[in-house]
Amino acid sequence: MGEADTLAAQISRRLRARPSASVPELRRLRREISRDLRDAPARVVIRAAKEVSRMAHRGHRFVAYELVKHHPAAPSALDAKQLGRLGEGMDSWDAVDCFAIYLSGPAWQQGRIPARVIHAWARSPDVWWRRAALVSTVPLNSRAHGGKGDTRQTLAVCRMLERDRDPMVVKALSWALRELSKRDPRAVGDFIAARAGSLAALVKREVRNKLSTGLKNPGRRPKRARG
């Protein structure tokens, strides 16, 4: 067993020992592991994260993706092939959103993967990869994630998926456009107007609400929810 495999097994044992851990508890555990791995080679951390992400235990993907995100060298070592392996088997919106917000979106934003990789995901028959393509645009535009705004790239992905009616894609499309609206509200308004015949009703309603009121659902208490 290699160094990465040994590390993955150790991480998995620590996760299985806390089967009911909350997200804050999982994050505390991840911080402990990150401290231990601060000086580990990026390739070892990425390979261990790949193995951990494939383990069918609650919290494995969350911890795996955070370990890569918070390692000093691992994020800058990611490429399209490694991202594809880290995302293999994603089957829930929370796994996809962690992957796209923590890993693929920043990699795209920082020029480590080209737009064609994201576009290939947008054409995937797998709904989770299509969602990943859209959510990967969020770091392009989110100040919280270092985004400076990228109308062209964001709308290119949105156009590819404007007719998709899977609920997970529809919600992600709304999220992508609402995030861009904070940077370029005119472009988003024009997009909604021009594509009204293609977009799902939820997308039009939430994005128009965001543009006019600053909230996707006025009248409801704002919730911290993805998508």
Cβ–Cβ < 8 Å for 176, 158:
yes
Rounding to the nearest 10 degrees, give the CA dihedral for residues 37, 38, 43, 49: 50
CA Rg value for the chain = 18
Please report the pLDDT score of residue 81 as a whole number.
Answer: 96
The model's pLDDT over 116-157, given as tens digits with 9 standing for 90+, comes to: 999 999 999 999 999 999 999 999 999 998 899 999 999 999
Could you give the percent of the chain with pLDDT greater than 90? 86
pTM to 2 decimal places: 0.92
The model's pLDDT over 60-103, given as tens digits with 9 standing for 90+, comes to: 999 999 999 999 999 999 999 999 999 999 999 999 999 999 99
Which domains are present in the chain?
Answer: 1-77 (no CATH), 93-227 (1.25.10.90)
Q: How far, in Å, CA of 123 to CA of 50, rounded?
A: 23
The model's pLDDT over 31-51, given as tens digits with 9 standing for 90+, comes to: 999 999 999 999 999 999 999
Q: Among all chains, which residue has been given the structure tokens 């402990």?
A: 32
Please report the pLDDT score of residue 227 as a whole number.
Answer: 59
Amino acid at 218: P
Cβ–Cβ < 8 Å for 106, 75:
yes
- 168: Cα separation from own chain's centroid: 13
**CA-closest candidate to residue 138, choices 166, 192, 97:** 97
Please report the pLDDT score of residue 218 as a whole number.
Answer: 86
Q: What is the number of other CB atoms lying within 10 angstroms of the CB of residue 88? A: 11
Amino acid at 157: V
**CA-closest candidate to residue 160, choices 199, 204, 206:** 199
**CA-closest candidate to residue 113, choices 143, 87, 78:** 78
**CA-closest candidate to residue 78, choices 53, 41, 101, 103:** 103
Position 194 pLDDT exceeds 80: yes
Cβ–Cβ < 8 Å for 49, 64:
yes
